[in-house]
Structure 1
Amino acid sequence: MRKELTIIFLLLICFCGYAQNATIVNLKVQGNKKTKTSALLKLTSIKKGQQLDSLVIEDDIKRLKRLSSIAHAYYQVHKKSGGYEVVYGVQENFTIIPSANIYTTNDDEFAFRVGVYEFNLFGHNITFGGVYQNDIYSSYGINFRAPYLFSKKLGLALNYNNLTTEEPVFLDNGTADYKYNNTSYEIQGLYQFNLRHRIELGVNYFNEDYEYKRGSTQEGIPQDFDVDKLLFKGIYEYNNLDYHFQYVSGFKSSSNLQYVVSTENVLPDFVIGWNDFFYYHRIGEKGNWASRLRLGLATNDDSPFAPFAVDNNLNIRGVGNTIDRGTGVIVLNTEYRHTVYEKDWFVLQSNVFVDGGSWRNPGGDFGDFGDTQNFRVYPGIGLRFIHKRIFNAIFRIDYGYGVTEDSTNGFVFGIGQYF
């Protein structure tokens, strides 16, 4: 109620003839300890000497609440001699965060990923850290992301990854297992037009190394090859989400388009693109409905190395680790999150979900999306253990049970909401 009254008060100031006296004579930030005040003021749209505008202030608060370093943000307006003082108050997150993901199925598959990240390096909302993964073989990566490095709108990201896994390759006469290594170097430019619209443009140089281990073979499919590639990528995001601790409301859309150039004919050049639509809705005081729809297509080459994977950690909880591939994807994840218990910093949240999706076979047509062999539905339940004062400190446990043809079931553990 206090927030609504403050907004009404500011609107009256702006539109009832007092605008000439509604000058901001002072702007300050309170509650921040690690995050630099200069870093926060750099992101605000209102400035000292400007006219008071409640809509601009509301957008500033939304922007602050999206920062990794901020758990919650609010504002106050005080009458001063000659105008008004605006105070932005923040509650900071703890931002040195370990990460962990564990995947299992009833086929005794086991893989894990652990890491540690600092999401507020030097108090300037810079992310830096790395991960280690064991999925039969060891892998690691190092990431740097500074979205406000050069200005309020312009930033930079650098990534290095050395990923090694055992990948199934689906041939006409069976399945082959390959040891797969991907070593990549990436640089991205980050630009934010305003609170809701941003883009990323980047280039990635990487090497793919496939080594045949066991299983079927097929004429024309090499057993060992090493390929250098160049990837050009563009990301556009519309984000109108509003956060209140563990609750999220609003809509977001993220489009990703990539063009991959190969140095070897065995893996031809291709284009891949997908769009993720997110919708979140508050239900009562303790409920949150969340949904994600992914639509994606790639160059439809008849190749066993198709880019879209069916995987526990990506799209279908309980399905297994990379059990199929395709050149097109339609996936819907929808779930209801309910706060079972909340006291001070701790939240226990229950989760009921349904993950479903279908894939286009390499070289196939759009009719493949309706083929029962490509269609998978996995309902399930889960729990979330949430620390409200630590960024992304959500430990999740989900159990998915397949109800479609040749289904499996299994647990998926991780840090952060699934989407």
Structure 2
Amino acid sequence: MKKLVPFLVLFSFMVSSICAQEYTVHDLKIQGNKKIKASFIKSISTIASGSVLDSTVIEQDIIRLKRLPSVSHVYYQVFHSEGNQYNVFYNVEENFTLIPSANIYTTNDDEFAYRLGLYEFNLLGRNITFGGFYQKDIYSSYALNFRAPYLFSKKFGLAVNHQDLTTQEPVFFDNTSSDYKYNNKSFEVLGLYEFNFKNRLELGLNYFVEDYEYKFGATNPNVPQELNVHKWLLKGIYEYNNLDYYYQYISGFRSQFNFQYVTSTDAMLPSFFIGWNDFFLFKRVGDKGNWANRLRLGLSTNDNTPFAPFSVDNNLNVRGVGNTIDRGTGVVVLNTEYRHTLYEKGWFALQGNAFVDAGTWRNPGGDFSDFGKMDNVKIHPGLGLRFIHKKIYNAIFRIDYGYGVTKDTTNGFVFGIGQYF
């Protein structure tokens, strides 16, 4: 026992010495920012004056900041202050954030549609997004969007959206189809909550009115030529995000689950649920390559209705396939592409890509075997280019050409701002 006492005293002294040497943060300093407010960066950072100096926590802060639309790149430095205290510097390279948006798509059927918008992604220097778009797809449409993920605190935010969307939509029945003028006018409010660095939740309500007006094509006594239905939509989104960004390069994994329950006041458009999960996997390949993948799995209530919720669409899932060429109550879509930086100097980068978009759908009222039917499968390989401005948020002008290799498919160009996924 006498031999044990000196050992315990020595052990206690060593522990006390180690604890006494614990390094702390004297101050967090922000450098390089012009429009984004330093107070905002500090409010969403974990590192703060008086906290333990932990490189793991700092690295998480850096990744979180690089995900912000207003930040092009950020790195940190640590300098000794006094005693066991250190100053931490976050050096920010800002993006230009007042951004026009454009999406244009065509097919070899001479179809042409476009969407033009303008968004500010750093309103008031606090990474608040506000803006809208105008769309011409035979008919005119518009939308307004407000999103402030850190409006109330570093965890709570708010999003408000309004759209008046009008398109010409095909409706499929009896192995034929007709075309309707479709209008969707909606108002949406979402609460945003960030659990931690990797997990977040969106939950809210959407009130909307759907209006269908018959234009031309086949008719059926059981398929109305006019519909005007008021609906409520309960919406939830859960996201796991472990992506890391280095300018145009992305690495890591992300999963986003979207669930909606829609009530209806008309039996022709009954209440239904719809849910889908997008899985994203990005991997750096050497110094200039990036392998990107998106897998979407989705199901909805399997009503035998010509107004099924999942669509096969040029600008959503399969490049070159056409504008809403089919509908279904289930979907499996895989987009995979290899992106390679062909030229890079200063703020500019030119990226080439080779892709394969493949998808299949469950017919309304059908069963899971529909996913394996060749009539439902669309496969479009293709090539594209990306013109990238590294100092402007999402300033990626893309051109893709998708070529259909399956039955009754089309070919076409898809133009847009931002990566396809």
**Deviation (angstroms), 1:264:** 1.1
1:8 paired residue number = none
1:179 aligns with 2:181: yes
1:115 aligns with 2:117: yes
The answer to which of 276-285 and 39-48 deviates more is 39-48
| Larger-Rg structure | 2
TM-score when normalising by structure 1: 0.96
- Note if contact 1:65-1:73 (Cα within 8 Å) is conserved in structure 2: yes
2:341 paired residue number = 339
Q: Could you say what the CA RMSD is over the residues aligned between the two structures, in angstroms?
A: 0.9
1:359 aligns with 2:361: yes
Where in structure 2 are the equivalents of 1:38-117 lying within 5 Å?
Answer: 38-82=39-83, 83-117=85-119
Where in structure 2 are the equivalents of 1:291-330 lying within 5 Å?
Answer: 291-330=293-332
The 3 A distance-change label for structure 1 pair 215 and 21 is same
Residues 73-115 of structure 1 show CA distances to partners (whole Å, capped at 9, x for unaligned) of 1000001112111001110000000000001000000000000
Distance 2:146 2:24 in 1: 40
1:152 paired residue number = 154
Where do 5+ consecutive residues of structure 1 fail to align?
Answer: 1-15
**Deviation (angstroms), 1:306:** 0.2
Residues 153-208 of structure 1 show CA distances to partners (whole Å, capped at 9, x for unaligned) of 00000000000000000110411000000000000000000110000001000000
Residues 45-94 of structure 1 show CA distances to partners (whole Å, capped at 9, x for unaligned) of 01101111111000000000000000001000001112111001110000
Runs in 1 of length 4+ with deviation above 4 angstroms? none
2:12 paired residue number = none
Identical aligned residues as a percent: 69
1:228 paired residue number = 230
The 3 A distance-change label for structure 1 pair 354 and 173 is closer
> Match for 2:76: what amino acid?
Y
Residues 300-328 of structure 1 show CA distances to partners (whole Å, capped at 9, x for unaligned) of 00000000000001000000000000000
1:415 aligns with 2:420: no
1:5 paired residue number = none
Distance 1:98 1:228 in 2: 33
Distance 1:19 1:240 in 2: 35
**Deviation (angstroms), 1:356:** 0.1
For 1:240, what is the secondary structure of its paired residue?
A: strand
1:7 paired residue number = none
1:20 paired residue number = 21
For 2:291, what is the secondary structure of its paired residue?
A: strand
1:270 paired residue number = 272
Distance 2:227 2:291 in 1: 46
Count, aligned residues:
404
Where in structure 2 are the equivalents of 1:192-271 lying within 5 Å?
Answer: 192-271=194-273
1:36 paired residue number = 37
> Match for 2:165: what amino acid?
L
Distance 2:354 2:18 in 1: 52
For 2:21, what is the secondary structure of its paired residue?
A: helix
1:9 paired residue number = none
Distance 1:317 1:225 in 2: 31
Distance 2:20 2:392 in 1: 40
Where do 5+ consecutive residues of structure 2 fail to align?
Answer: 1-16
Distance 1:17 1:374 in 2: 66
Residues 238-292 of structure 1 show CA distances to partners (whole Å, capped at 9, x for unaligned) of 0000000000000000000000000111110000000000000000000000000
Distance 1:103 1:287 in 2: 26
